[in-house]
Amino acid sequence: MQLSARELAAFLQGTVEGDPNVKVSRPSKIEEGGEGTISFLGNMKYEAYAYTTTASVLLVSNDFQPAKPVNPTLIRVPDVYAAVAQLLEQFGQQAPTTATISEAASIHPDANIGEGVSVAAMAVIEEGAQIGNGSIIMGQVYVGKDVKLGENVKLHPGVRILAGCEVGDNCIIHANTVIGSDGFGFAPQEDGSYKKVTHVGNVVIEQNVEIGACTTIDRATMGSTIIREGVKLDNLVQIGHNVEVGAHTVIAAQAGVAGSTKIGKHCRIGGQVGFVGHVQIADGTQIQAQSGVAGSVDEPNQALFGSPAIGYRDYIRSYAVFKQLPELYKKLRRLEKKLEDQ
């Protein structure tokens, strides 16, 4: 696919500076460039590359003022990162393929397969499963008994959706993710052993959710573990039993959420954040990477940092002090010695 700078500007609702007829066929990183590519300058730390890049077209913000001559044709847009998202979606589109069901797939005769569904080789679809129109089931996917998939769901290779779980329309689940595994529940016994607590609930994933590779979402003990509309989960995220993640919350890689925790809407959770169980996290909470959340967050739109997590600004001020503790301790010891010598 080739597009001219003029066509791209119209698509991105931007303005052209330079040759509007120059054509590009793929995106590139600004430091790599290449003739016939389009790149972008979204972070001014990379401004130096704007003057050396060999890309044919460069996306910049409306307020970018070059300090030196720039060789590529510029397309100015109000929001560079939003434009890049549109651009990558455009270049990432693949030609539509004919819906096919592989002879090497195993589909139970009592499964309900919608129109335009693709099922690849070695996929397994069990009894009572419902697959919505236009969904794509890639190789070695397992769809368990009575699972419900909405329309236009895309399951990448190796995904496991276990019995009774539900996935809404337009969801994307990446490779080797497991939905509906048993939660981590064991009752201590008098002899010191542990008895497994049977989990009879399910997982409900609402529409427009995207889940990264190798993530696990445990089924509820009773009721449902719920991932609300528009949630984005990174790779290697662990969601415990009976957790609820609010609409349009994003959680980065290696975060772990213990059972029965309720995370609000529009929260932003950094990588390797850990939550204890049975806490409530208010809407709009932002949590810095590697923080530990040991209690409920009642006030919305707070930024937290640390382990246990405290207010972000409080943590930064505290860090400025405690990183000096070794030197302060030496000074204290010297003062104590002077007092002892007097």
What are the extents of the domains in the chain? 3-92, 106-316
Check residues 172 and 88 and name the one with the higher pLDDT: 172
Pairing of strands 3-4, 23-24: antiparallel
Report which of 320, 264, 318, 316 is spatially closest to residue 288, judged by C-alpha positions: 316
At residue 93 the predicted structure's pLDDT band, cuts being 50, 70 and 90, is low
CATH of domain 3-92: 3.40.1390.10
The answer to whether domain 106-316 has CATH 2.160.10.10 is yes
**pLDDT over 70 at 147, yes or no:** yes
What does each C-alpha distance from 153 to 9, 46, 50, 118, 234 come to in angstroms?
31, 37, 39, 11, 17
Q: What are phi and psi of 94, to 5 degrees?
A: -105, 155
At residue 56 the predicted structure's pLDDT band, cuts being 50, 70 and 90, is very high
SS3 content of the chain, % helix, strand, coil (to 5): 15, 30, 55
Q: What is the pTM of this model?
A: 0.81
**CB of 282 within 8 A of CB of 299?**
yes
Give 71: exposed, middle or buried? Use CB within 10 Å, 0-12, 13-18, 19+: middle
**CB of 202 within 8 A of CB of 221?**
no
Please give the positions annotated as active site.
Answer: 241
Q: What are phi and psi of 119, to 5 degrees?
A: -130, 120
Q: Put the strands of the sheet holding 106-107 in their side by side order.
A: 106-107, 124-125, 142-143, 160-161, 178-181, 216-218, 238-239, 256-257, 274-275, 292-293
**CB of 30 within 8 A of CB of 49?**
yes
Task: Tell me the per-residue pLDDT of 193-245, one tens digit each, with 9 for 90 and over.
Answer: 999 999 999 999 999 999 999 999 999 999 999 999 999 999 999 999 999 99
